[in-house]
Structure 1
Amino acid sequence: MAAGVSLPTPTSPGAIDWSAPWLAPWRGRGQPVAQQVQGGSPVGQALQSAVRGAAPVVFAAQSELPDGVAYEQYIWDTRRVPTRDNLHDFFNGLVWLHFPQAKRRLNELQAQAIAADGVQAVRGPLRDALTVFDENGALLQAPDALWDALRARDWQRLFIDLRPLWPQARLVLFGHALLEKLVAPRKPMVAHVYPAPVAINSGVIGAGDGLGELDAWLAQAVQPHTWAAKPFVPLPVLGVPGWWPANEAPGFYADAQVFRAAPRPGPRP
Structure 2
Amino acid sequence: MAAGVSEAFDAIDWSAPWLVPWRGLGQPVAQQVQSEPSVHRALQSAAPQDGPVGFVPQHELPDGTAYEQYIWDTRRVPTRDNLHDFFNGLVWLQFPQTKRRLNELQAQAIAADGVQAVRGPLRDALTVFDENGAVLHAPDALWAALVARDWQRLFIDLRPLWADARLVLFGHALLEKLVVPRKPMVAHVYHAPHAIRSIANLDACLAQQVQPQPWATKPFAPLPVLGVPGWWPANEAPDFYADAQVFRPPRAVSGG
Q: Please tell me the TM-score bracket, short chain as reference.
A: over 0.9
- Equivalent of 1:110, from 83, 103, 106? 106
After TM superposition, list the pairs within 5 Å mapping 1:92-111 onto structure 2: 92-111=88-107
Give the corresponding residue for 1:205: none
Give the corresponding residue for 1:71: 67
1:53 positional shift: 4.7
- Report the secondary structure of 1:140's partner residue: strand
Q: Which amino acid aligns with 1:145?
A: A
Q: Deviations over 1:202-238 (max 9, x none)?
A: xxxxxxxx20010011111011021111111000000
CA–CA separation in structure 1 for the residues paired with 2:2 and 2:35: 7
Q: Deviations over 1:14-70 (max 9, x none)?
A: 210000000001000100000001102310100111123520000111111000000
Q: Which runs of 4+ in 1 moved over 4 A?
A: 3-8
- When residues 7 and 109 of structure 1 are mapped into structure 2, their CA distance, relative to the original with a 3 A threshold, is closer
CA contact (8 A) 2:151 2:247 kept: yes
CA–CA separation in structure 2 for the residues paired with 1:211 and 1:5: 34
Q: CA RMSD for the aligned pairs? A: 1.5
- When residues 33 and 196 of structure 1 are mapped into structure 2, their CA distance, relative to the original with a 3 A threshold, is same
CA contact (8 A) 1:59 1:83 kept: yes
CA–CA separation in structure 2 for the residues paired with 1:113 and 1:169: 34
1:198 positional shift: 3.5
CA–CA separation in structure 2 for the residues paired with 1:53 and 1:154: 46
CA contact (8 A) 1:5 1:38 kept: no
Q: TM-score, normalised by structure 1?
A: 0.92
Give the corresponding residue for 1:206: none
CA–CA separation in structure 1 for the residues paired with 2:26 and 2:4: 16
CA–CA separation in structure 2 for the residues paired with 1:74 and 1:160: 46
Q: TM-score, normalised by structure 2?
A: 0.97
CA–CA separation in structure 2 for the residues paired with 1:175 and 1:35: 21
The reply to whether residue 167 of structure 1 matches residue 163 of structure 2 is: yes
Give the corresponding residue for 1:47: 43
Give the corresponding residue for 2:83: 87
Give the corresponding residue for 1:207: none
CA–CA separation in structure 2 for the residues paired with 1:117 and 1:199: 37
- Report the secondary structure of 1:55's partner residue: coil
CA contact (8 A) 1:141 1:196 kept: yes
- Report the secondary structure of 2:136's partner residue: strand
The reply to whether residue 216 of structure 1 matches residue 204 of structure 2 is: yes
Q: Which amino acid aligns with 2:199?
A: L
- Report the secondary structure of 2:15's partner residue: coil
The reply to whether residue 155 of structure 1 matches residue 151 of structure 2 is: yes
Q: What number of residue pairs does the alignment pair up?
A: 256
5+ long unaligned stretches in structure 2: none
CA contact (8 A) 2:95 2:203 kept: yes
- Report the secondary structure of 2:118's partner residue: coil
1:101 positional shift: 0.3
1:76 positional shift: 0.1
1:200 positional shift: 3.7
Give the corresponding residue for 1:240: 228
Give the corresponding residue for 1:56: 52
Q: Which amino acid aligns with 1:123?
A: R
Q: Deviations over 1:111-166 (max 9, x none)?
A: 00111111100000000000000000000010001001101111011001111110
Q: Give identity over the alignment, percent.
A: 77
5+ long unaligned stretches in structure 1: 202-209
The reply to whether residue 266 of structure 1 matches residue 247 of structure 2 is: no
Give the corresponding residue for 1:179: 175
CA–CA separation in structure 1 for the residues paired with 2:47 and 2:182: 32
1:8 positional shift: 5.5
1:197 positional shift: 2.2
CA–CA separation in structure 2 for the residues paired with 1:144 and 1:186: 28
- Report the secondary structure of 1:139's partner residue: strand
